[in-house]
Structure 1
Amino acid sequence: MGLVARIRKEWFIIGIILVIISAKVEPRVGLKGGALRPEVTISYVAVSLIFFNSGLSLKTEELTSALLHVRLHVFVQSFTLIFFPFAVWLLLQLLQLTSINQWLLRGLQTVGCMPPPVSSAVILTKAVGGNEAAAIFNSAFGSFLGIFVTPLLLLLFLGSSSSVPFSSIFSQLFMTVVAPLIFGQACRRWIREWLDRKKPPFGSISSVVLLLIIYSTFCETFASSNASIDQLSLLLVCFIILFVQLSFLLLTFVVSSRRVSGFTPADTVAIMFCATHKSLTLGIPMLKIVFAGDEHLSLMSVPLLVYHPAQILLGSVLVPTIRGWMQNRQKAMKLPGLQPI
């Protein structure tokens, strides 16, 4: 029973492993013109479904209480969409002097360009007992900003290896990302009571569709002549990702927990997770659009595939420690002679 419960909890990570193995065994299914017809089902239907699902599930009314906490929002969005990608770019200037696979390194840069996720940062903030409303707002607002900012960052740092013109990239982004998101929000207004009553598994639906996109991406790679991944490069990239996550968690904690920052301990928790987490659900579809036709796309996707489960596992491990710090700080603030942060 314990094993079954564990599998249910980690089914998405297990699913990623299984679809990659399936793509390796029979890549022709997910190739252009294959049985899956990814040029239609993946490029348009699957991506649009993910963002329609996001629009339908996003409870905008829950964000109003956090809307006026402008300084926190500016800090989180500036960190994740400005500081993060530029810091990774500086790190890569050093890493390019090593023998690590260049396409995996380019993939590290794509991770830096991604917006925050809609779910994991909120879940971990709630688990600690932090400012959940701020986490919800920044995850949602960051995802919305990412629709426009992330493609610009990808093109700024990496350029588009696709033959698709710049205008075509953004027209496809609008049709498959922005329009479904808006349509999902519009539909929510009509069926809000039904959604609140039935509580459909929005997260699971998006995850299943995302597995389909990952499968198609790796089918393209394993069918090409560049399917092999240098094991040492992959291992080093995993260590680099862990180093980046720990460093940025520590940096956001040190800056936001200082009394002069004006943030409460609960705010600090939300900042740590929202500013350092990156979205796989939005990231993979955007990479598919911006780097359409690139034979190295799946290699560039690997760091993001590693970063996503790593941020959840690392965050889960740190939850008791961060909760203990927050509770101790909150108790200390209530003692005579200490002013609230």
Structure 2
Amino acid sequence: MYPNIGRTNGILHSEWSITPPCIILVFFLSGLLLETKLFVHEIIRIRLHLLVQIYSLSFMPAIVYGLALLYLRTMEHLYSFNKTLIASIVITSSLCTTISGNVIMTKQADGNEYSALGNILGVFISPAIVTLFMKNPLISLLIATEYNVTPNNHTNNLNHTLDYKKTLINLGYTVILPLVVGQIFQLIWSARIKALANKLQFPKLSSVLLLLILWCVFCNAFANKSFKLISKTDLIVLLIIQVLIYISFSLFIMIIARLPLINTLYSE
């Protein structure tokens, strides 16, 4: 109803007043809650992280990318789907889940949030995958056509946007630094921090912070009238595609993770 409140450059200027502070607080709280010994033990579980990263940042993007190309070359004449949405599906399939959401949701599901922190690698890998896919003229042309720009200019703009130096700096002060500071506090005042965490319900506080971040995202979407730019038919098709992708890949990784050989490798 009031997207101007939480959108970027809106009333609250969420781009600096809400989103960065919330992300920093989420990882600071994670640092306070994580026991250092367990954290180190989980981080060095190379085979577990290798399985997750290969599946989410190699297997999934490659399959979705291949299906998108198959549609564009063989089935586009049957149903003309929104070009930008096709490219967007390819891009989002190449992205890692948000680290803050990864930790919070894993913890809420009684999972091992220490292992979820291995997702930090995705911040470095995802931009490289997106850049690689966008070099394909067929995919790059989809966005270029929608916005009436030449594919070459669009590719140049994309490469300029995916700034690794900026990514590393943002990762440093929003993720790594708060996590390290939280760990230092946890080591020095572990008993007090534990008591404070139980009293103030740190996990629930992290969930509230995540909701604020999501609220800002939706404020931007509604303020920019993003949903009105998509036809109802395309929106329904998009929802069906996303649900199928989520269910299919979730079921597949559940099957893979329960294979005796794989289970032995990542559980050791």
TM-score clears 0.5: yes
User: What is the total number of aligned residue pairs between the two structures?
Assistant: 233
Specify the alignment match of 1:48 in structure 2: 24
Aligned-residue CA RMSD in angstroms?
3.5
Gap regions ≥5 residues in structure 1 = 1-24, 127-131, 268-341
Aligned pair partner of 1:139 in 111, 116, 122 = 116
Distance, in Å, in 1 between the alignment partners of 2:19 and 2:127 is 16
Are the structure 2 counterparts of residues 156 and 262 from structure 1 closer, same or farther at C-alpha, using a change threshold of 3 Å?
closer
Specify the alignment match of 1:243 in structure 2: 244
Distance, in Å, in 1 between the alignment partners of 2:106 and 2:210 is 18
**Secondary structure at the counterpart of residue 27 of structure 1:** coil
Aligned pair partner of 1:194 in 164, 182, 192 = 192
Distance, in Å, in 2 between the alignment partners of 1:265 and 1:174 is 31
Distance, in Å, in 1 between the alignment partners of 2:107 and 2:84 is 31
Letter in 2 for 1:220: N
Distance, in Å, in 1 between the alignment partners of 2:167 and 2:42 is 33
Letter in 2 for 1:222: F
The alpha-carbon deviation at position 36 of structure 1 amounts to 0.7
**Secondary structure at the counterpart of residue 12 of structure 2:** coil
Gap regions ≥5 residues in structure 2 = 135-154
Specify the alignment match of 1:16 in structure 2: none
Letter in 2 for 1:35: I
Letter in 2 for 1:216: C
Distance, in Å, in 1 between the alignment partners of 2:168 and 2:43 is 28
Aligned pair partner of 1:81 in 45, 51, 57 = 57
Distance, in Å, in 2 between the alignment partners of 1:151 and 1:55 is 26
Which digits, 9 at most, give the CA deviation of each residue in 1:26-68, with x for residues without a partner? 2222344432122321353233223323333333433466567
Distance, in Å, in 2 between the alignment partners of 1:212 and 1:187 is 25
**Secondary structure at the counterpart of residue 224 of structure 2:** coil
The alpha-carbon deviation at position 79 of structure 1 amounts to 1.3
Specify the alignment match of 2:80 in structure 1: 99
Distance, in Å, in 2 between the alignment partners of 1:164 and 1:266 is 36
Are the structure 2 counterparts of residues 201 and 155 from structure 1 closer, same or farther at C-alpha, using a change threshold of 3 Å?
farther
Are the structure 2 counterparts of residues 140 and 31 from structure 1 closer, same or farther at C-alpha, using a change threshold of 3 Å?
closer
Contact 1:76 1:138 in 2 (8 A): no
Are the structure 2 counterparts of residues 95 and 191 from structure 1 closer, same or farther at C-alpha, using a change threshold of 3 Å?
farther
Q: Does 2:118 match 1:118? A: no
Distance, in Å, in 1 between the alignment partners of 2:252 and 2:214 is 32
Letter in 2 for 1:56: L
Which digits, 9 at most, give the CA deviation of each residue in 1:290-324, with x for residues without a partner? xxxxxxxxxxxxxxxxxxxxxxxxxxxxxxxxxxx
Contact 1:147 1:177 in 2 (8 A): no
1:300-311 map, 5 Å: none
Contact 2:53 2:122 in 1 (8 A): no
The alpha-carbon deviation at position 189 of structure 1 amounts to 1.9
